[in-house]
A and B are shown apart, each in its own frame.
Chain A
Amino acid sequence: MNRARRAVSACAAALLVSGAASVATTQPVAAASHSSGFTKSETITRTELVNGKKQVVDKRTVTLHVDDTTDLEGRQEIGVSWSGAHPTGGIVADQNSIDAQQEEYPFVLLECRGTPSRVTPQTCWTQDWSERYQDSLQTPYPPYRLDAYNTKAEDAQVYGAPKKLPKACAYLPAPTQHWVPFVAANGHVYDGGPAGCAGQPPESQSVGGSALPSNETFGVTGTNGKGTASFDVWTSAENASLGCTQLVACSLVAVPVMGISCAAPKAASASDVAACEAKGAFSPGQLAPNPPQGRDDLAVSGSLWWSASNWRNRITVPLSFAVPSNACDVVNSSNDVDVYGSELLIQATDQWAPHFCLNHKLFKFTHVQTGEPEAVNLLTTGGAEAAFVSDPPAHGYGKPVANAPVALSGFAIGYAIDGANGQPYTDLRLTPLLLAKLLTESYPADLPVQEEDPALANNPLNITLDPEFQQLNPGITHGVDASEAASALLALSSDSDVITALTTYINDDPTARAWLDGTPDQWGMVVNPAYKGIKLPVDKWPLLSDFEPTEYYQSDRNDCLKNSPVPFLPLVAAPLARLEEISEALQFSVAQSTTTCSQIDGTTVGEKLVAAGRQTAGYRFMIGITSIADADRYQLQTAALQTSADHFVAPSDDSLQAAAKLLTPDKAGGFWDVPYATFESSKSAADAYPGTMVVYASIPTKGLPAQDAHDYATLLRYLATTGQQPGRGVGQLPAGYLPLTKANGLSDLAGYTYAAAADVAAQNGKVPSLTGNAAPHARTGGSHHAGHAGGHTSPSPAGDGSSATAVPPAVVPPASGSTTTEPQPAPVIAGPPAVLASIGRAVRRSIGDGAAIVAIVILLAVAGGSAAPAIYLLGRRRGRW
């Protein structure tokens, strides 16, 4: 039952006409210009022999831009864009698949070991032997042997074969062969060959495949010569055979396939030369049939990326890698300090945690990722000692708990949408009403629903056919073929404060609210009656549609739904359990709607509905909830959300800062309120990002075991101070969070957290009061709480008897490169954190500094009777430098 997929490709083919024909608008580079970006232009040619003379038949000036090339991390997506290349034809769905090599004139992107001056095809990663081996049975002069730029050796009938052919290869190769072995980082040579008979790296697809989509990319160039791709950078952690690390140089190699420039030896027949000079079986922009039928012209296909003609046209981009922050020991028996909750913090806790594990005097800090409501339940009932939440329970936890702010971030609406020109769309704007429409299953998504459900009969099939969406977002195809993905917001199935924030934003908008209550929008679209009048906010988005298109189900078109009928639109919504899964689905544009029936051997045993799968490049449409920090980490596009009538605000440091000014302390609740209603009503809030959320560490100030209390206090002090220092290093705050600093108007929050640490440490049952803690200074500038006056006033005890006698926090970490000390209630070791930070990704310390620190560490460690860890640290450090 592949009906859905067949329908998709048919639609895609139909769409092609409009897609390819439409005039391409200028496409801005996806990411803002970056200091570590790379741009280079090359003029490249293809030649033919005309009357025995070389003549240029195709000449183009290709410009390549890569938005980030330094301090890279494993699995980081870097934005690549180009212009001036030959348009691609015979396009397949998945640009990272083995089939994609058969595209004609692809823009090939490869990660290769070696610096730009030394890189060769032998060290470039491909997932399959077929991308580095060719042979020919029919003619001794296939195009790659007629390459005018071949060396003499390459002109041989058999080139690159292993000296001794392994037994497994016996009888396999055809008489004419070209081998491109892969040389692994450890020096081992994998010859590959037909069916990989002479050996392939263990990461190869046919040896077992990789869990990640491979990163070699047969990028699609549009009819305007432009194209973009997100390239997934791998370190040795992802691919040991490729082996890129901070010490082993690697490059991104772009090979704009122009086709073979042909020579014509006498022995070659006219048809050999014609095959070599072929210009392509597909027209630019044309999709390959599904399944591919091998109609491509080899001479211009991606399979020959390594040929001399194509390789000489390469543009090579040096890449440098960060020292990984994943430096925790496998064996570590120090105290476990677990905090359950918020997925908004994942990127931050990934960087914070190593700070603690690397210091053997500290503890193991683990962020157990759950929805916030589950964490609240666990904390309330004693199942967890601490929680990361954004929406602390209004009536508390039934015990004294400090809600200490640790991050300002929020949710984002991420998307991967290709515009009508086939290029990634980067300016998506959404209103609360559009989000409500997506969430309430009010787009029919598929024709059977629209035809059979009278309640939705007059609604647009999906969001791209909704006039409201079209007016806000010009340049997106009306009626995309990914209709199901364009009918629902990929959301969470589990309880989450993110859903609370999102539904609060929707609920506070009068237009969206009226629509939810039954008022049609100005074009007549109505809410799915199952959701009419729904009370918001909620922390779990309910799936309420119960409509089953019975005619469709009773037909033989979907066996799963025929045998086990369930409401259709919840299958389209197909929410996922974790934000991270949504981020991944957006990153690789994997459609999640589970409406495709999959069977084993055509029997009903084990038949199941499965997700639609990866979308076709150039025709993607994915939209889902993610976090600002995940979006930053995975280079996801994020939508600008409507504030006041004509204002749309995307997440950024500026828009988070504007939102920070609106935070109001809720004295009774003991937390800061994000006044969502204000975002949509107040002019002063027009530039504030409406997805802003505060994340708190909720930690009891009574009942914790002494050691744990002590460790949680240490954690809070760190997170309130050094942990707010932005950067990619160990212990620092990654992008996607607005540091809780005075400069951002957030010193109150950091100060409160610092004060709370004292109560947590003392387990005195007190919670620092927000009394006397004025609204953030941006509003009143009046009486103040901790952190004001340069961040050096003590947290106010304010007559509540709080034991907040802690040393004032250095809320604003020193801006210079000087060693940052961790404020502690007592004399404390400054060394370890500094050393540890140097293991981090952003090494910015002079050797002299480091050496002194190491000396201190050794002294202290020996004095403390723990020479072994110190020596270990030292060894580790030496190893790294």
Chain B
Amino acid sequence: MNLRRTRIAVLLAAAVAVAGPAVLGAAGPASAADSHTLIQGSGSSWAANAVNQWVADVQQQGIQVVYNPGGDAAGRQDFANKTSDFAVTSLGYQGRDPLTGVSDTSQGRDYAYLPIAAGGTAFPYQIKVQGQQVRNLRLSGETLAKIFTNRITNWDDPAITKDNNGHALPSLPIIPVVQSEGSGATWQLTKYFATDYPSIWTQGPTEYFPRSGNQIAQNGSDGAMNYVSSSEANGAIGYVEYSYALSQNYPVAKLENKAGYFTLPTQYNVAVSLEKAQINMDKSSPDYLLQTLTNVYVDPDPRTYPLSSYVYEIEPTGKYPSPESKITPAKRQTIADFTYYAICQGQHEIGPIGYSPLPVNLVEAGFGQLQKLKQADPSLDLTERNVTTCNNPTFVAGHPSENYLAKIAPLPPACDKTGAGPCADGVTATNTETSNNPGGASKGTSKGGSSPAGSPATSGGGAASAPSGGGSAVTTGAGVVTTGGTGAGTAAATGGEVSGVADQPTTVPADLAGYRSGHLTSILGPLAALVLLLVLVVPAVMGVRMTRRRELE
């Protein structure tokens, strides 16, 4: 049997060299692609919370997808090795990783990139002061670059105090938490550092974080997030897609933009930021649709979140059975329909959980990329799979390059500005609506026990949410960054698990105008979107709807 095994290895090598997919040449193409079959993808853990939701959704359409979030680099590698049907990645094939020299090509497999979601790389952190979690930390890009190069190693560093408008944190060593696998989040982070702070981050961008010093390496977004939130990690700060922090109700640092405001990666702010992304629109380029984010980093819009980015699917565009030996007609149909769902209907549900929907021009470009699948296999059915059947909240009728979310994105409150604030926890433009609210702290209302209603500001709540001075503002005593002992407005001090240090200061934003107007848009926004949608869809569908109303009401 030993002999058998050895021979197998030899034979395998020979077969790869000689045969390749041509072996399958005898195979007649299967009949029209009228069915779906299981497909598998791998790659970005940054995007996994969105992709997994789509995977769950499309089961109802008979589409089975298995997604393995092993990291962007592994995803591209799997695709190149033909061990997957598609990949998800923040960046394209690099040839070689600029820092490590790790090889990175598709090994000749035909492919195209297609944007599937936007999001922000967030900085969850754990800083406990007197046993209470700080929740309103803010940091500049420069400070972060120094933290992740071990030049700033303690939370009482003057640079951090300065970022927080003079509010100092106590002495506590910083534990930078980096991702150990080849990760798109690492790439986005180091690209940002290398572009904007080349004198601090001198190594250039890379997917493989060069861990050193006090840094802790953890595998994947899950691993990094689990470590940051574990008890021994007091002082830790990591970088993951915003959705990972939201699912644990974990605080993330506000990041300073070029306008001098500290912002969160909300779906609105990400939408604003990515209007400045330079997309490669050269259809002949292998990097067609890939992003250059240099202008995002320096966007002067006060709503910008500088570490916003798109994430891409890599789809197989080779003809079956040669040169593409794996993508049968049924598989290609499944890839097309899964992708259609993702970039179309799948967009509206991901904003609230921490991503940002694609703008219409990229969705349209994505449909263009789906056509490449049809070029590879004319039997592919793409009927009605187009922009008009999407329900995407970013669409502005007649203005395909505009992003509705960016238009309605609220301005940050004054307390988020450099030299002011910091805002109390929850006082900011948040992800879930265009007004300030204590959403992040509302959990305390159900658990803390001492909290009264904590009635959060909602779109219906109007001006009630404006924080009043009472009970929230105290001046700096110990010089500690406040921990959000109050929610905004109606929420009183909670004393709950996430509440702040009661006798510590919270600075009240002086100017609320910016997000008061946000209240209005938050009410009108969905309505407007609905109206737009109704205008967009074909009259027949409206007819159906009206019929239904007549029958039921």
Contact = CB atoms under 8 A, between A and B. Distances in A.
A167 B327 CA distance: 23
Interface string B427-465: 000111101010110110111000111111111110000
A75 B526 CA distance: 39
Contact of B460 (A186, A368, A703): A703
A782 interface: no
Contacts of A327: 60-62
Nearest to B390: A333
Interface string A561-592: 00110110010001111101000000000000
Contact of B222 (A293, A493, A563): A493
B443 A208 contact: no
Given A237-B37, A380-B458, A609-B219, A331 B384 contact: yes
B544 A361 contact: yes
Contacts of B4: 294
Nearest to A713: B552
Interface in A207-256: 207-212, 236-240
Contacts of B447: 539
Given A324-B62, A703-B460, A705-B527, A371 B247 contact: yes
B397 interface: no
B47 interface: no
Contacts of B37: 236-240
A866 B547 CA distance: 9
Interface in B341-394: 341, 345, 348-349, 351-353, 383-385, 388-391
A481 to B, nearest CB: 24
A218 B381 CA distance: 39
Contact of B331 (A202, A236, A335, A384): A202
B346 to A, nearest CB: 9
A168 B219 contact: no
Contacts of A395: 445-446, 451-455
Nearest to A714: B552
Given A330-B337, A361-B548, A391-B446, A199 B61 contact: no
Given A374-B249, A864-B544, A608 B219 contact: yes
A544 B453 contact: no
Interface stretch (A113-121, A649-657, A824-832): A824-832
B215 A564 contact: yes
Contacts of A294: 1-2, 4-5
Interface stretch (A189-197, A311-319, A504-512, A801-809): A189-197
Interface stretch (A14-22, A33-41, A599-607): A599-607
Nearest to B331: A202
A23 interface: no
A578 B217 CA distance: 23
A594 B224 CA distance: 13
Interface stretch (A346-354, A635-643, A681-689, A841-849): A346-354
Interface in B390-417: 390-391
Interface string A309-343: 00000000000000011111111111110101000
Contact of A330 (B40, B52, B341): B341
Contact of B23 (A102, A166, A383, A607): A166
Contacts of B391: 333, 336
Contacts of B107: none
B513 interface: no
Interface in B189-243: 208, 211, 215-219, 222-223, 225-227, 229-232
A8 interface: no
A393 interface: yes
Given A194-B15, A208-B83, A605-B102, A398 B246 contact: no
Given A394-B446, A868-B540, A607 B180 contact: yes
Nearest to A336: B391
A594 B219 contact: yes
A368 B446 contact: no
Given A824-B552, A865-B540, A382 B100 contact: no
B475 to A, nearest CB: 29
A325 B547 CA distance: 27
A573 B196 CA distance: 39
A197 B35 CA distance: 28
Contacts of A714: 552
Contacts of B24: 199
B408 to A, nearest CB: 13
Interface string A172-189: 101000000000001010
A542 interface: yes
B300 to A, nearest CB: 28
Contacts of A206: 12
Interface string B35-53: 1111110000000010011
Interface stretch (B63-71, B135-143, B276-284, B290-298): B63-71
Contacts of A369: 52-53, 56
Given A570-B227, A826-B552, A544 B232 contact: yes
B25 to A, nearest CB: 8
B551 A829 contact: yes
Interface string B310-345: 000000000000000111101100000100110001
B530 interface: yes
Nearest to B383: A331
A395 B222 CA distance: 31
Contact of A168 (B2, B18, B446): B18
A288 B553 CA distance: 70
B551 A338 contact: no
Given A237-B38, A398-B456, A866-B547, A825 B247 contact: no
Contact of B458 (A197, A361, A367, A381): A381
Interface in B101-135: 102
A195 B225 CA distance: 43
Nearest to B426: A381
Contact of B61 (A172, A197, A326, A570): A326
Given A195-B11, A196-B15, A393-B445, A865 B458 contact: no
B208 A166 contact: no
A607 B549 CA distance: 60
B510 interface: no
B153 to A, nearest CB: 16
A13 B449 CA distance: 54
A819 interface: no
A368 B211 CA distance: 36
A244 B141 CA distance: 56
A878 to B, nearest CB: 15
B1 A394 contact: no
B458 A399 contact: yes
Given A326-B62, A331-B383, A208 B84 contact: yes
A564 B180 contact: yes
Contacts of A667: none
A494 to B, nearest CB: 4
B26 A606 contact: no
Nearest to B221: A577
17 contacts: A186-B31, A206-B12, A240-B330, A296-B1, A298-B1, A326-B60, A331-B340, A331-B385, A333-B389, A381-B433, A383-B352, A383-B431, A398-B461, A493-B248, A546-B232, A577-B247, A607-B180
Given A199-B23, A395-B451, 18 more contacts: A197-B11, A210-B38, A212-B66, A240-B328, A328-B61, A336-B349, A350-B60, A368-B349, A377-B442, A396-B455, A399-B460, A495-B247, A540-B249, A542-B231, A545-B231, A546-B232, A567-B232, A824-B552
Interface of A: 74-75, 102, 130, 137-138, 166-172, 174, 186, 188, 190, 194-199, 202, 206-212, 236-240, 293-296, 298, 324-336, 338, 340, 346, 350, 353-354, 357, 360-361, 364, 366-371, 373-374, 376-378, 380-384, 391, 393-396, 398-399, 493-495, 530, 539-540, 542-546, 560, 563-564, 566-567, 570, 574-578, 580, 594, 600, 604-610, 702-703, 705, 707, 710, 714, 824-829, 863-866, 868-869
State the 6 A-B residue pairs at the shortest beta-carbon distance, nearest first. Answer: A383-B432, A168-B19, A546-B232, A211-B40, A211-B66, A294-B1
